[in-house]
Structure 1
Amino acid sequence: MRTLTPAFAANFAALAYETLEKAPLVYTDYYRLLENSFSFELEPIKGVSGSILERVFTHSTNFGCIAKGKKGLFEGDYVLALRGTAKMRDVITDLNCGLSTCSNSQPVHAGFNHTFNSFRKQLEQFFSKKASKKLNIHVVGHSLGGALANLAANWLKNHFGANVKLYTFGAPRVGYHSFAIQTEAATNNHIYRCVHAADPVPLVPVWPFMHTEQEYILNGAATITPKAHSMTDQTPGYLHTASNFKSYAAINKGMEKRIQEEVRLDYDKRLECSRTSRWARKIGAALITYLRDTGKLYAIQNHYTNTLTVYDQIAKALTDSIDLSKNYTSDVKGILGYMLAFCGYPFKAISFTYASIRHILKLMLKNVFSLAGQAIALTK
């Protein structure tokens, strides 16, 4: 099973958005770049968005397309391309981040899971007819389509035993550490998670949600800006940057910070922090380090029956340890100080009450989620 080039994968991700248009896909530039190697199914994938109103009224819209490789490098392979949508921004920017269980029995973002489940039966009907032999499936998506692609890749592996490769552009985090590990196993580590360093969407949902480990940095500008999330714009635009690389080996690689990495922040050095993806990730890593050291991480990551209180649990964990150890107090002060500096309030006073800590945590979350919401509103 060959790997899609960055340009092929990016063109599929862009083409998925065109399924919303009334004009046939054959009239798009993306189709013309792909038609020599792939044939396309006539019926688009239909699903229900994570938008609250659409979920209430089960309003179905086109979510992507399926293609099959012609004679050549990808002969017999399938490509499932899924789009993102601004109508899901109320889900991605929800501070509560409700959870539900996905096909690999791991907790994931409930909004993403709901949307994937809305078109899962259509995928089952299609691929069941093709499953007489081993399936090779490339799953592609940009933005929230990348989140759906993560869920689809796991399900296709679990349900059909398919060989799966996963390609995402500017995708948000989907689940906790356990889900990321399962996704790596399902794809045999054939994951091409492409990001722009300035894109805010890959930074959310924040802790304790986590990406798969390896990432491909198509553009290294680090100052966070919603424009860095676009699929097709030239500034920088995932289609534009991906098309500059003939293979993934030529792309600079980064890495999602794992829970075993130790990061501690010194409150007195908080002025070094700025609103960049680097510092957003470093603050997250410091928080994970603290939760692990205090024995709170496992409980928070595995307590998802009361799905709307994960960040309240984190605030409580920060508060509870203040009186236990001077070292923990220093760690908490460092984390909170850097959060305030990230949000532009480096000299704001810190009180170690639950209400104050919850306020600072919420301020940090709102800051990052607001940028992500703006980016998703500009999608495509």
Structure 2
Amino acid sequence: MNSQMRTLPPEIAAMFASIAYKTFNKEDFTSGTLYQGLKGQFHFDGNYLKGVSGSVLERIFKHTTPFGCIAKGKPGPFDGDFVLALRGTEKKRDIITDLHCGVNTCANGQPVHAGFNNTFNSLKQQLEDYFKLAASQSKTGLNIHVVGHSLGGALANLATNWLKKHFNANVKLYTFGAPRVGYPSFALKTVYATDNGIYRCVHAGDPVPLVPVWPFVHTEDEYILHGAPTITAKAHSMTEETPGYLHTASCFKSYAAINKGKESRLRRQVKLDYDKRLQARPTTRWARTIGEAIITHLHASGRLHAIQADISNTLRFTIKLQKC
């Protein structure tokens, strides 16, 4: 990675993750406080990325919606750097994408969430056109910061791998409340693609980073912006102040000041006692404990390997279809 490539501060990264939602309305985009706060350091060319999310019919008829924007750094600490900002779930069709939890392969050849990957594939030609031109005009290579919240964070993971493989770009990845995207092999490849330049920010009570469940996993390190462990939908908000990722990220000048955690890999052997079921609470600790108990039960019953085999067979069948 280019040693001169700086890291976006938490607040700036959160501002980009937030402004990606404003691409539905160009007037709203340029008149808001987010744009005013970023335009001093970054230039927006006004061209918004459009993608297809949702069902097979949405893809057949190519029903596109704005999915984000690209900015370029002005003279200063991020001079010449690009920022790719991708939005999260906004429409009903995005929810269908979130729920489409099959498996197919991404740019680095690893198994990933099919719904996320299908949506990212609808963005690739625009990214190809933009960064091909940018690469032809650059003498030192591409520095790209990829940012996203929720579904946008999942797309940012996929974009990071694709940009590294396709352009050999120097890439840093910043996500807020992102779901799990792929299998352990994908998470490992993502670490390699960024030279460990990954800033995966979460709220402890946000339910979205807890899904999809095994065998999907995150990259291991996480930055905990808000520590309240009770699971609540409010903890997933990007812009609300209770807690709101934009609000909590603005409290930290650097990632070094943020408490770090680790992704649970469901390694513990856990057996639940039915008689103590009323002790369960809607917290992240209990969510992980229940997940560990499910894997323990599947392993003890001999079903774990069968499920793994089914997933592998599905993946091989998908690969064959894609090669046809």
- Do the aligned residues in 2 keep the contact of 1:51 with 1:89 (CA within 8 Å)? no
* Aligned pairs (5 A) from 1:265-280: 265-267=271-273, 269-280=276-287
In the TM superposition, what whole-angstrom CA distance separates every residue of 1:69-100 from its partner, at most 9, and x where no partner exists?
A: 11111111110000012331123235xx2111
In the TM superposition, what whole-angstrom CA distance separates every residue of 1:275-322 from its partner, at most 9, and x where no partner exists?
A: 2122112322344456567572753553334889xxxxxxxxxxxxxx
Mapped to 1, the partners of 2:195 and 2:114 lie a distance apart of 25
* Aligned pairs (5 A) from 1:95-134: 97-132=101-136, 133-134=140-141
Mapped to 2, the partners of 1:100 and 1:60 lie a distance apart of 22
* Aligned pairs (5 A) from 1:220-369: 220-258=227-265, 261-267=267-273, 269-288=276-295, 296=305, 299=309, 302-305=312-315
Mapped to 1, the partners of 2:282 and 2:156 lie a distance apart of 29
Mapped to 2, the partners of 1:187 and 1:289 lie a distance apart of 33
Larger Cα-atom Rg:
1
The structure 1 residue matched to 2:96, chosen from 87, 90, 111, is 90
The structure 2 residue matched to 1:33, chosen from 25, 37, 41, is 37
Which stretch of the first structure deviates more once superposed, 274-283 or 148-157?
274-283
Residue matched to 1:196: 203
Q: Which amino acid in 1 is paired with 2:97?
A: V
Q: Which amino acid in 2 is paired with 1:303?
A: N
Distance 1:98 1:306, change over 3 A: farther
Mapped to 1, the partners of 2:115 and 2:219 lie a distance apart of 19
The structure 2 residue matched to 1:170, chosen from 174, 177, 184, is 177
Mapped to 2, the partners of 1:51 and 1:30 lie a distance apart of 32
- Do the aligned residues in 2 keep the contact of 1:176 with 1:301 (CA within 8 Å)? no
Residue matched to 2:11: 7
Q: Secondary structure at the match of 2:83?
A: strand
Identity percentage over the alignment? 63
Mapped to 2, the partners of 1:222 and 1:111 lie a distance apart of 28
Mapped to 1, the partners of 2:176 and 2:12 lie a distance apart of 12
- Do the aligned residues in 1 keep the contact of 2:111 with 2:315 (CA within 8 Å)? no
Distance 1:176 1:68, change over 3 A: same
Mapped to 1, the partners of 2:127 and 2:288 lie a distance apart of 35
Which stretch of the first structure deviates more once superposed, 293-302 or 272-281?
293-302
CA RMSD of aligned residues (A): 2.2
Q: Secondary structure at the match of 1:304?
A: helix
Mapped to 2, the partners of 1:109 and 1:210 lie a distance apart of 11
Mapped to 1, the partners of 2:126 and 2:78 lie a distance apart of 23
* Aligned pairs (5 A) from 1:121-160: 121-132=125-136, 133-160=140-167
Q: Give 5+ residue unaligned stretches, structure 2.
A: 319-324
Mapped to 2, the partners of 1:54 and 1:233 lie a distance apart of 30
- Do the aligned residues in 2 keep the contact of 1:47 with 1:61 (CA within 8 Å)? yes
Q: Secondary structure at the match of 1:7?
A: helix
Q: Secondary structure at the match of 2:246?
A: helix
In the TM superposition, what whole-angstrom CA distance separates every residue of 1:152-204 from its partner, at most 9, and x where no partner exists?
A: 00100111111111001111111111111111111111111111111111111
In the TM superposition, what whole-angstrom CA distance separates every residue of 1:10-64 from its partner, at most 9, and x where no partner exists?
A: 0000110111114163211111111111111221111112355533421111111
Residue matched to 1:42: 46
Q: Secondary structure at the match of 1:44?
A: strand
Q: Secondary structure at the match of 2:66?
A: strand
Mapped to 1, the partners of 2:43 and 2:233 lie a distance apart of 34
Distance 1:136 1:306, change over 3 A: closer
Mapped to 2, the partners of 1:52 and 1:238 lie a distance apart of 32
Mapped to 1, the partners of 2:55 and 2:32 lie a distance apart of 27
- Do the aligned residues in 2 keep the contact of 1:99 with 1:307 (CA within 8 Å)? no
- Do the aligned residues in 1 keep the contact of 2:97 with 2:119 (CA within 8 Å)? no
Q: Secondary structure at the match of 1:168?
A: strand
